[in-house]
Amino acid sequence: MSDIPNIPNEKKPTPKSIVLTSHPSSNVGAKPLPLEWGAADPAQRGPVVATLKNPGGKNAIGTHSGAYSLYRALAIAAGQLKAEHKPDLTNTAPAEPLGPFPQWADPEKIVSIDPWGHITSQVFAKQINAGWDIRPTIAVTKAHINMPELHDAVRAGRLKPDGNILAANGDVKVTKVAIEPVWYLPGVAKRFNISETELRRGLFEQTGGMFPELVTRGDLKVFLPPIGGMTVYLFGDITKLGKPATRIACRIHDECNGSDVFGSDICTCRPYLAHGIEVCIEEAQQGGVGVIVYNRKEGRALGEVTKFLVYNARKRQEMGDRAETYFQRTECVAGVQDMRFQELMPDILHWLGISRIDRLVSMSNMKFEPIVASGIQVVERVPIPDELIPADARVEMDAKKAAGYFTDKVPDQDELKKAKGRGLEE
Amino acid sequence: MSDIPNIPNEKKPTPKSIVLTSHPSSNVGAKPLPLEWGAADPAQRGPVVATLKNPGGKNAIGTHSGAYSLYRALAIAAGQLKAEHKPDLTNTAPAEPLGPFPQWADPEKIVSIDPWGHITSQVFAKQINAGWDIRPTIAVTKAHINMPELHDAVRAGRLKPDGNILAANGDVKVTKVAIEPVWYLPGVAKRFNISETELRRGLFEQTGGMFPELVTRGDLKVFLPPIGGMTVYLFGDITKLGKPATRIACRIHDECNGSDVFGSDICTCRPYLAHGIEVCIEEAQQGGVGVIVYNRKEGRALGEVTKFLVYNARKRQEMGDRAETYFQRTECVAGVQDMRFQELMPDILHWLGISRIDRLVSMSNMKFEPIVASGIQVVERVPIPDELIPADARVEMDAKKAAGYFTDKVPDQDELKKAKGRGLEE
């Protein structure tokens, strides 16, 4: 590692000159920093560098913090933050060690996360000392969480406080991990069975011209998309991750703000999440590890405006809100039934060193199939207990069961025709 | 309105040619569609058009759905959605009428929301019939929500079910509104006391070159930033909005996923949100309107990775986690104490026709001051009841009170020095 070159002095752009990233002339002589995606040794892999300061000292398109990069830009434009601010990362290293796992060395197992993103300060220390602008894309901390539903589970005798993982006051000890998306474009393209060129062009054109470097800088292979990332909540002894004997309970949860926070009764999101946490606590109490992945993919990644438009269309249609037309109403408005793309989702499981899930707390085939296709064994699928389904959410549940979700009771055509959701005025 | 020109036939881009938005030649002859921000008559204001299909038939930079535009782009690149899909918006109109209010006709009162965004199909029907690609940026629906904390409030006698707003089973009737950000760039710049050029340049350069049109197309005055928007929950009879006699209770809540969903005990976010909802229900039961605004500004708009890095730094510092150094640890990592920019926040209140808030459920001066400066009267500020503050969140609460948050008990220096937060290993 003694051959780390110093980054040439950062050019301060003169105040009057704007460098348009799409003009070939602005990139003359700018060769990306070396990066070998999937290399087992981080020295060989090389860091992801998305610095704004020096077009010659980077290898990624975009910048850090996902969509929050816009707020950072606003802070600098408004004079409240210095563009040259370098984070002081003292004491910020992971609260517990995590990895490396063999999956990190497979360039195709993980394509949307930087597996070394939480320990950049450690594995890329020499580069940082040589002046490279390297920032963490993952943070690992510890917390106590407390959800009212878990109190109910204790009262009902389903959960028993153990004084460690689950305290008598309902506090649950967790390790939690925040992750920003880091897309290795050749790997993402392969996941969707398209060419890298098609992917780059689609991302550029269909966002209204975001990041011309997607099409002008084919040599920059990594993209930090301005989208929400994910949070992982881990229950139990996380040093057991990556060991085949460790039993794993897991729920992959896609954000639904209306239910997750406000308890809206049109879907089963928060009840199923709370049930997943209950199963994770049980598993951890028995010596396994529980894993909740919370993905920022509001409204099937269509966003909440589209979601609410669909709610109105469902509740106003002739014959009322019924399972029969559940997916169709979304497709009319959005053009697709679902935009979550679970193709990239298994990455997080491989990052955690998981090769078998003993209890998958999900009925969704759209989640189950890519997990299994990515080489992870699923032993048991845990449906949501019937008593946790809100009345208005029967429409969703029936539609999903009829569409092939995991269940032992597939509703028939007559059942699907019944209006079960409230009208808008009720 | 008979003079709405037909949009010239949409050019289908030939598969081989990529139009780089930053090349002046690609924009030759493309004049933006007319838009007069703040005009009282929607016919005169004109619609916001951010179509991808026709550079001559738009007036906005970027595209719809905020950060979810990336998923849409991915869907098209992967061949799962047709680029030319036009939404079928049958039955999607607002579940209840909302506005217009006099504030909509003031170009400086609202600069980050399109006030006509929920009724585009109605007020721009002629343009839509003439082929303009106009999409809603706001959706209004109705829902029932149910939060366990409200059951506690009923049990404790603080809330009484009335069979309408609050049912005996804890269900609360709400009208809810999802809003995507629509930035009128001259207005946003003015809010931050910078020039439009400085704003455009900062947004372009500090995001790593996102949207060259920010700097090449000064004639496009509207920008749809790829960031999270907001959701508004309204309690009571919303036809009373905009009437001076109507009492308004309000909490402006900035997203904190760890507390809002999982009940992490390091902060007061979910307890304060639940208390705000309680106050809103009370107000609605007495004939007023309750307003909860949920802003997608995770971790003070620094994102969750930065937030967790700061948690580690706080809990590991010498002398433990204490109020004295609460803000400092964020500033070391992020360069600022807070990146939420409440400068744009009052827009939503003006959109709702609010000119007086009777009960503001917030202790934050960073929220109070811009609300008052924007011309809205605040009658009473409601602090979080002491018994709702989790033990580990005392650090945050003391630090904020010492920094000038609304309170009758400002902690002294000795108090601030006491370590009150758990260590990482506890």
ipTM for the predicted complex: 0.94
- Mean pLDDT computed over A312-331: 90
Nearest Cα residue to A72 out of A83, A57, A60: A83
Asked if B389 is an interface residue toward chain A (Cβ–Cβ < 8 A), one would say no
What is the DSSP-derived secondary structure letter of residue A402? Answer: H
A260·B258 Cβ contact <8 A: no
Residue B91, phi-psi category: left (phi > 0), alpha (psi -120 to 50), beta (remainder): left
Q: At what angle do helices B394-402 and B326-334 cross, to 10 degrees?
A: 90
User: Hey, of B262, B296, B330, which one would you mutate to test binding to chain A, going by the most A CBs within 10 A of its CB?
Assistant: B262
**Which tokens sit at B10?**
């949409």
Residues from chain B contacting residue A80 (CB–CB below 8 Å): 336
The pLDDT of residue A60 is above 80: yes
Please check the confidence at residue A25 and state whether its pLDDT lies above 60.
no
**With bands split at pLDDT 50, 70 and 90, how would you rate the model's confidence at A14?**
very low
Q: Which residues contact A249 (CB under 8 A, 6 or more apart)?
A: A276, A279, A280, A282, A283, A288, A289, A290, A291, A357, A358, A359, A361
Per-residue b or e along B62-97, where b marks 16 or more CB atoms closer than 10 Å to that residue's CB: bbbbbbbbbbbbbbbbbeebebeeebebebbbbbee
Nearest CB to A194; choose among B77, B83, B180: B77
Q: Touching check for A213 and chain B: CB below 8 Å?
A: yes
What's the CA gap between B341 and B202, in Å, rounded? Answer: 15
| Bridge partners (DSSP) listed for residue B139 | B178
Report residue B266: phi and psi, to 5°: -80, -10
How much is the average pLDDT of A333-356?
92
Strand partners, A420: none
Cα separation, A178 vs B298, whole angstroms:
12
- Give chain B's count of helices (H) and strands (E): 17, 10
Distance CA B139, CA B137 (A): 7
Which has the higher per-residue pLDDT, B102 or B66?
Answer: B102
CA distances from A266 to A110, A321, A420 (A): 34, 11, 11
Which of A2, A9, A6, A65 shows the shortest CA–CA distance to A33?
Answer: A6
Give the list of residues 6+ apart from residue A11 with CB closer than 8 angstroms, or none: A53, A54
The answer to whether residue A334 neighbours chain B at the CB level (below 8 Å) is: yes
pLDDT tens digits, residue range B144-191? 999 999 999 999 999 999 999 999 999 999 999 999 999 999 999 999
Q: Tell me B40's DSSP state.
A: S
Task: Tell me the pLDDT band of B419, cut-offs 50, 70 and 90.
Answer: confident
Q: Do B208 and A69 touch (CB under 8 A)?
A: yes
**What average pLDDT does range B306-333 have in this prediction?**
91
Residues of A in contact with B388 (CB under 8 A): none
pLDDT, average across residues B188-202: 96
Task: Give pLDDT, residue B6.
Answer: 67
CB contact (8 A) between residue B143 and residue A258: yes
Instruction: Give whole-number Cα distances, B210 to A183, A202, A210, B352, in Å.
Output: 16, 15, 5, 32
A268 and A149 Cβ atoms separated by less than 8 Å:
no
B393 neighbors B284 (Cβ within 8 angstroms) = no
* Spatial distance between the Cα atoms of A251 and B46, rounded to a whole number of angstroms: 46
Query: Could you tell me the pLDDT band of residue A425, with boundaries at 50, 70 and 90?
Result: confident
What is the C-alpha R_g of chain A?
A: 23
Q: Yes or no: say if B343 and B370 are a contact pair by the CB < 8 Å rule.
A: yes
Whether the predicted pLDDT of A271 surpasses 70:
yes
Has residue B87 got a pLDDT over 80?
yes
Beta strands B289-295 and B248-254 are parallel
The two tokens of residue A31 are: 């060769």
- Shortest CA distance to A244 belongs to which of A98, A350, A354, A376? A354
Catalytic residue flag (residue B45)? no
pLDDT at A13: 45
Residue B377 burial (CB < 10 Å; 0-12/13-18/19+)? exposed
Q: What is the mean pLDDT of residues A134-147?
A: 97
The structure tokens listed for A68 are: 């929050």
- pTM (2 decimals)? 0.94
pLDDT computed for residue A19 by the predictor: 67
pLDDT above 50 (res B11): no
Q: Measuring CA to CA, which residue among B408, B413, B354 is closest to residue B383? A: B408
Q: How far apart, in whole angstroms, are the C-alpha atoms of residue A44 and residue B92?
A: 53
User: pLDDT confidence of B24, banded at 50, 70, 90?
Assistant: very low
Token representation of residue A225: 């998309």
Which residue in this structure is represented by tokens 């610095």?
Answer: A51
Distance of residue B359 Cα from the nearest chain A Cα, in angstroms:
21
Greatest pairwise CA separation for chain A in angstroms: 72
Listing DSSP states for A202-260 in one string gives HHHHTTTS--THHHH-TT--EEE-SS--EEEEEES-GGGTT-TT--EEEEEEE--HHHH
**Is the pLDDT reported for residue B55 higher than 90?**
no
Structure-token pair, residue A423: 């009208």
User: Which of these is catalytic: A338, A359, A394, A398?
Assistant: A338
- Per-residue pLDDT of B341-371, as tens digits, reads 899 999 999 999 999 999 999 999 999 999 9
Exposure on the CB side of residue B414, measured as CA atoms within 13 A: 0
Our answer to whether residue B340 is catalytic in this structure is yes
- What's the sign of the alpha-carbon dihedral B382, B386, B388, B392? positive
Judged by a CB distance cut-off of 8 A, whether residue B212 touches chain A is: yes
Residues of B in contact with A260 (CB under 8 A): 260-261
Measured between alpha carbons, how far apart are the two ends of chain B, in Å? 68
Average pLDDT along chain A: 91
Return the ∠ at Cα A299 (arms to A248 and B281), rounded to 5°.
100
8 Å CB contact of B92 and A136: no
> Which pLDDT score, from 0 to 100, does residue A6 have?
67
Predicted confidence band of residue B426 (pLDDT cuts 50, 70, 90): confident
| Interface subset of A 224-253, CB within 8 angstroms of B | 224-229, 231, 233
Residue among B347, B378, B348, B353 at smallest CA distance from B364: B378
DSSP-H helix ranges across A286-418: 298-301, 304-316, 326-334, 347-351, 365-373, 394-402, 413-417
Please report the pLDDT score of residue B408 as a whole number: 80
Helices of type H across B119-245:
120-123, 125-129, 148-155, 185-191, 196-205, 213-216
Contact B206 A18 (CB under 8 A): no
DSSP state for residue A307 in the 8-state scheme: H
Q: What is the pLDDT of residue A24?
A: 46
Q: Are A117 and A137 spatial neighbours (Cβ–Cβ below 8 Å)? A: yes
- Three-state DSSP at A401 gives helix
% of chain A with per-residue pLDDT over 70: 93
- Cβ contact (<8 Å) for B336 and A75? yes
Chain B residue numbers touching A176 (CB-CB < 8 A)? 258, 264, 308
CA atoms within 13 A on the CB side of B368: 18
Q: Within 13 A of B415's CA, how many CA atoms are on the CB side?
A: 13
Percent of residues, chain A, with pLDDT higher than 90: 75
The residue with tokens 């945050």 is B396
The overall average pLDDT reported for chain B is: 91
**Helix boundaries (H) for B287-384:** 298-301, 304-316, 326-334, 347-351, 365-373
Give B227's pLDDT tier (boundaries 50, 70, 90): very high
Q: Half-sphere exposure of residue B212, counting CA atoms within 13 Å on the CB side? A: 22
Question: CB-based contact (8 Å) between B268 and chain A?
Answer: no
Query: How do strand B60-62 and strand B222-224 relate by DSSP bridges?
Result: parallel
